[in-house]
């Protein structure tokens, strides 16, 4: 990480305190529907998710992370209208899911980070916490033999406080919205394809967070304005401390040293991929809804064309598209990195604020 001035460091401390204060205040916006948090064990891995209208994805999403070793879900429902809330209430009977609801603005909550920030602060400190969207499935090399508890144990052993990932857009072959998907189905059975390249990244000052762009959405929707293409770097899995704060979704963190955890496609530390299943058939109708809600971008008017293009049902597939098979395939393409004998992390950096 590049050194920053004392003034910049001071401003980042103030920013982190503002983020923590916002998260603390956000608890007033959350109404608890089901509280199973007394079931959380000392070493449990927690999944934190803010969602709206994800009834189609939730059955597979919950089953996927349960099988991967997640012990408890902390879920915020932002006024779903498709039965997601009732589905989550039924799932909560298993005792491994706690549920809150809010009717407040997603955009005003820093796109849900204030809400998830409160849950991380209150319940997550000391736990490994995976903060993801309902359309994100974490994969990593060796996961067939290494579930989340084993992964986090290995990260602890080498002194890493987090695990970074590239968000990889998956898409179908053929026009969007013309495929079939049933609730509970593996999304990768429908979304089989991805762009292996190009991806490019820079470090941003003063926070030191990575800014990684490229891939399918950049190619399809932002060829003329690449600076507006989605940010694809995330650090979703962290051994959380109540003094930590996400500042821009899970793309960036404070204290700034935490951003060095992930180096993108050129990084040397172990990393994974978040399979982004945004482009299931419902994406066309959802785009119409989100364009009218204007809750997903800081300046929604700049992205009306993005939604409008999705509504035309474009075909993402092109001759260079790669068919997804496994995390090991992604590692061979340089999109993530497994553990090896050379994996080391400099010590002496934990719990420094």
- In SS3 terms, 227-275 reads as HHCCCCEEEEEEECCCCCEEEECECEEECHHHHHHCCHHHCCCCEEEEE
List per-block mean pLDDT (blocks of 10 residues) for the chain, which spans 353 residues. Answer: 84 97 97 98 98 97 98 97 97 98 95 97 98 98 97 97 98 97 98 98 95 97 93 98 96 97 95 98 85 60 77 96 98 96 47 41
Q: What gap in Å lies between CA 260 and CA 352, rounded to an integer?
A: 14
Measure the N-to-C terminal CA separation of the chain; round to a whole number of Å.
15
Alpha carbon 342 to its chain centroid, in Å, reads 28
**pLDDT at position 306:** 84
**pLDDT at position 344:** 52
Q: What gap in Å lies between CA 138 and CA 273, rounded to an integer?
A: 6
Alpha helices in the chain (DSSP H): 6-26, 58-68, 84-91, 113-119, 148-158, 215-221, 283-293, 304-311, 327-332
Helix (H, G, I), strand (E, B) or coil at 136: strand
Of 119, 108, 44, residue with least CA distance to 76: 119
Helix (H, G, I), strand (E, B) or coil at 193: strand
CB burial readout 8-42, b (16+ within 10 A) else e: eeeebeebbeebbebbeebbebbeebbebeeebee
- For residue 245, what are the β-bridge partners? 254
CB atoms closer than 10 angstroms to residue 174: 12
Query: CA 178 → CA 82, 101, 174, 282, distances in Å?
Result: 20, 32, 7, 9
**pLDDT at position 78:** 97
**pLDDT at position 141:** 98
Q: Is the dihedral of CA 121, 124, 129, 130 positive or negative?
A: negative
**pLDDT at position 285:** 87
Question: How buried is residue 177: exposed, middle or buried, by Cβ count under 10 Å (0-12/13-18/19+)?
Answer: buried
E-strand ranges in 72-135 read: 72-77, 97-101, 128-131
- pTM given for the model: 0.93
**pLDDT at position 303:** 67
The domains of the chain are located at: 11-332
Q: What gap in Å lies between CA 122 and CA 353, rounded to an integer?
A: 19
């Amino acid at each position: 990480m590049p050194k920053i001035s004392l003034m910049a460091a001071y401003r980042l401390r103030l920013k982190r305190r503002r983020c923590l204060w916002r998260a603390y205040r956000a608890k007033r916006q959350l109404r608890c529907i089901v509280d199973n948090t007394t079931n959380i064990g000392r070493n449990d891995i927690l999944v934190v998710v803010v969602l709206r209208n994800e009834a189609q994805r939730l059955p597979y999403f919950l089953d996927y992370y349960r099988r991967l070793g997640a012990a408890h879900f902390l879920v915020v429902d932002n006024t779903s209208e498709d039965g997601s809330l009732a589905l989550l209430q039924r799932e909560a009977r298993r005792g491994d899911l706690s549920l809150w609801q809010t009717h407040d603005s997603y955009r005003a909550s820093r796109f849900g980070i204030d809400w998830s920030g409160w849950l991380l602060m209150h319940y997550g400190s000391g736990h490994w916490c995976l903060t993801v969207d309902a359309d994100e499935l974490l994969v990593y090399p060796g996961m067939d033999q290494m579930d989340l508890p084993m992964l986090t144990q290995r990260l602890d052993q080498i002194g890493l406080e987090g695990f970074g990932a590239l968000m990889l857009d998956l898409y179908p072959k053929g026009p969007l919205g013309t495929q079939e998907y049933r609730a509970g189905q593996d999304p990768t059975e429908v979304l089989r394809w991805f762009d292996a390249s190009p991806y490019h990244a820079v470090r941003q000052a003063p926070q030191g967070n990575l800014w990684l762009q490229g891939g399918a959405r950049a190619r399809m929707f932002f060829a003329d304005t690449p600076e507006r293409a989605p940010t694809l770097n995330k650090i979703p899995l962290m051994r959380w401390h109540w003094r930590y704060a996400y500042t821009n979704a899970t793309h960036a963190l404070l204290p700034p040293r935490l951003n060095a955890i992930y180096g993108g496609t050129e990084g040397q530390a172990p990393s994974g991929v978040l399979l982004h299943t945004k482009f299931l058939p419902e994406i066309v109708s959802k785009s119409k809804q989100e364009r009218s809600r204007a809750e997903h971008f800081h300046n929604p008017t700049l992205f009306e064309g993005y939604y409008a293009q999705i509504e035309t049902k474009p075909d993402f597939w092109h001759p260079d598209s790669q068919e997804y098979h496994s995390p090991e395939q992604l590692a061979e393409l340089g999109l993530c990195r497994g553990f090896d004998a050379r994996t080391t992390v400099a010590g002496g950096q934990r719990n420094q604020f």
